[in-house]
Structure 1
Amino acid sequence: MASVGSADRPTAVVLGAGGFVGRNVCAALRATGRPVAAVARRPAGLPDGCRPVPFDVARGDPAALAAALAPLRPGLVVNAAGALWNVTDDELTAGNVTLVERLVRAVEALADPVRLVHIGTAYEYGVHPDDTLAETLPARPVGRYAQTKLAATRIVTRAAAEGRVSATVLRIPVALGPFIPAESLLGGLARQLAAHPAELRLPPLDGVRRDLIDVRDVADAVLCAARAPRLPPVVNIGSGRLVPLADTVDALIRIAGTGANAPEIVRGPAPAGRRDAGAGDRPLDIGLARREFGWAPARTVTDALHALWGSTRVPHTSQHHT
């Protein structure tokens, strides 16, 4: 169990530490020697080395959360939590909006200065005709998931603009890498290949292109945001280019090494209620991240797929939150 942070190594608090993004953020923070505390409803499934802080942020009082955080004297709070897979509209609101409202109020109430890094999504932009998605574009999301994430972004950026918190929002596209959930496209396909390598059921992917980022590069961006002298309200963290998803699936099949015979492809319908409803196929403009954070993606899609496949064969609990 991690100890409370010292003056030279203040504690980093991570919400959603047991999820896909949060788990990798914790690993990156721990690699720097920083104490990490994980705020979660249940202590089970948290990454090794994290100090558990049992608390249900979506239901708890902000003052009570501030009281739980105060003894840790955190210098950084990362929100990688949120409702994402197999949830109702009410659960999306609770996990993506109410949780962030209460977190911001709790961080604001802490006596010592704290930096807040919130993980947003590129789906907040919606469809634009521009060649790339820059932070200056208006956000006009269509799907309920993206709408609730935009509401959270506005809560964070408003608090920062009013000087109530020091905060930034990292907007990420489709993330790949170790411990990706089974509910995601590539995570589900990897588990199919591990369990039944002779057959692969695919939704329609013809012409579908997405900006893909290794989740470990996202974690590195969190570290950059934690130490940046200036914090833009919103920063894109992506690869800056589009990749055909069909090609990505082919690469995963090769990495899985299913033998001399390629799996039989069974075409199925598109899943209902996709979280990327209304998202266009435009890459993120990552110039601001380069200029303000000195950040750039260091890993390729192939790197991410190798890590994804490696973690698929390691038993772990699937998470339903970011």
Structure 2
Amino acid sequence: MNVLITGGAGFIGSALTDTLRLAGHTVTPLDNLSVSSRRPSRKGLVVRDVRSLTAQDLDGVDTVVHLAALKSVPASFEVGGFEHNVAVDRHILHAFVGSTARRLLLASSCEVYGEQQGPLAESAPYAPRSPYAAGKVATEQLADIYRLRLDGDRQIGIVRFFNTFGPHENTDAVVPAFLEAVGENRPLVIEGDGRQARDLTYIDDSVTMLTRVLDAPALLPVINCGSGRAVCILDLARAVIRAAGRGTITHAAARINEISSFTADLGLFHRAYGAVDHMPLDEALALSLQTRVPAVTAA
């Protein structure tokens, strides 16, 4: 495949770039570096804003994987995040439809499910509780609209990420924030009582799932990418302390509109692409602790 990855300097994008290249694919990572990256400098990285891409830029590309986004849920309550993400996503959809590229895989989020009980299947209704989540709902609905303009074997797919974590992740997510805290001998700060649960997936497992999706002949309209098991934040903090051999816990105010639990239903994924052996949490945390490097930004 000839693959273009937006957000290619980011946490998931850079890992996917490496894996696809090792498999022999031609990969162009693209990123405007507006969000700092903890990855070392990327070979062949195109420093460019997604909104500058034209349909002609996508001609000759087999598959576009669109991962670029401002992904902070708390920050999305400030003005700008919702508008930015929706504008970028609509732009890539518009450019893709006007190009000769064959497939577009768009990143969405478990946040679109909101507060619902039990494992979350792709057929569950939308129930966003943040501007970030509402933006992802808008993107998914835009994808439905743009699919109507496709012909032949051209495809648009959506992958809903749950909580992917691992080395080189920025500290705007709970796992890297905990890892950095123990590394700097600071308390691990839990927002709320810590009973909220999250589906945690190690980066290698998420990339394995993504490559299964990309290797298949057809993209499904929507697919979950998670581990299928939830860990409460208090237990996660204790696991980080075990892995590091030190650490303390403190509590802060709960987040606005905090969701009590996310767990991926992987039934559709397993039927379409087969089961994935997920790395145990303690082992994944130990590996993540080994790689904590300073953030880098554009020159």
Partner residue of 1:51? Answer: 44
Match of 1:315 among 285, 294, 298: 294
Identity of aligned residues (%): 24
What is the alpha-carbon distance in structure 2 between the residues aligned to residue 175 and residue 266 of structure 1?
24
* 3-state SS of paired residue (2:68): coil
CA RMSD of aligned residues (A): 2.5
Out of 121, 127, 134, the position equivalent to 1:140 is 127
* Alpha-carbon displacement from aligned partner over 1:140-179 (angstroms, at most 9, x marks no partner): 2111111001111222233235436412111121121111
Aligned-partner Cα distance in 2 for 1:306–1:244? 18
| Structure 1 equivalent of residue 113 of structure 2 | 125
Structure 2 distance, partners of 1:294, 1:218, is 14
Q: 1:301 aligns with which of 263, 281, 286?
A: 281
Structure 1 portions without partners, runs of 5+: 1-9
User: What TM-score does the superposition give when structure 2 sets the normalisation length?
Assistant: 0.87
SS at match of 2:50: coil
In structure 2, C-alpha distance between the alignment counterparts of 1:18 and 1:267, rounded to whole Å = 33
Contact 1:126–1:278, Cα closer than 8 Å, also in 2? no
Structure 2 CA distance for aligned equivalents of residues 205 and 172 of structure 1: 24
- Decide which moves more: 277-286 or 287-296: 277-286
Counterpart residue type for residue 204 of structure 1: G
State how far apart, in whole Å, the 2-side matches of 1:282 and 1:200 are: 21
Give the secondary structure class of the aligned counterpart of 2:291.
helix
Distance 1:205 1:237 in 2: 27
Counterpart of 2:141 in structure 1 is: 154
Paired AA for residue 92 in structure 2:
L
Alignment of 1:219-238 (within 5 A): 219-238=207-226
Partner letter of residue 130 of structure 2?
A: G
Note if 1:99 corresponds to 2:79.
no
Counterpart of 2:229 in structure 1 is 241
Post-superposition offset of 1:68 = 2.9
The answer as to whether partners of 2:226 and 2:264 remain within 8 angstroms in 1 is yes
5 Å-filtered alignment, 1:1-322, equals: 10-42=1-33, 50-58=43-51, 60=52, 64-70=53-59, 73-85=60-72, 86=75, 88-94=78-84, 96-111=85-100, 113-129=101-117, 131-163=118-150, 165-196=154-185, 199-258=187-246, 263-270=247-254, 272-273=255-256, 277=257, 279-312=259-292, 314-317=293-296
User: Contact 2:193–2:251 at 8 Å: present in 1 too?
Assistant: no
Q: Is the 8 A contact 1:141 1:278 kept in 2?
A: no
C-alpha separation in 2, matches of 1:195 and 1:12: 38
- Equivalent residues of 1:175, 1:215 under 8 A apart: yes
List alignment gaps of at least 5 residues for structure 2.
none
The one-letter code sitting in structure 2 at the alignment partner of 1:92 is: F
Amino acid at match of 2:23: T
Distance in 2, matches of 1:55 and 1:148, equals: 22
Q: Structure 1 residues 170, 47: CA separation in 2 closer, same or farther (over 3 Å shift)?
A: farther
- Quick check: 2:7–2:68 contact (8 Å CA) kept in 1? yes
Summarize the Cα distance change of 1:181–1:54 in structure 2 as closer, same or farther, 3 Å threshold.
closer
Runs of 4+ in 1 over 6 A off after TM superposition: none
CA contact (8 A) 2:227 2:264 kept: yes
SS of residue in 2 equivalent to 1:311: coil
Indicate conservation of the 8 Å contact 2:163/2:198, yes or no: yes
Q: Which secondary structure does the structure 2 equivalent of 1:33 belong to?
A: coil
Tell me how far 1:205 sits from its aligned partner. Answer: 3.8
Partner amino acid, structure 2, of 1:23? S
1:318 CA displacement: 7.8
Change (3 A) 1:268 1:278: closer
Deviation at 1:109, TM superposition (A): 2.0
Normalized against structure 1, the TM-score is what? 0.81
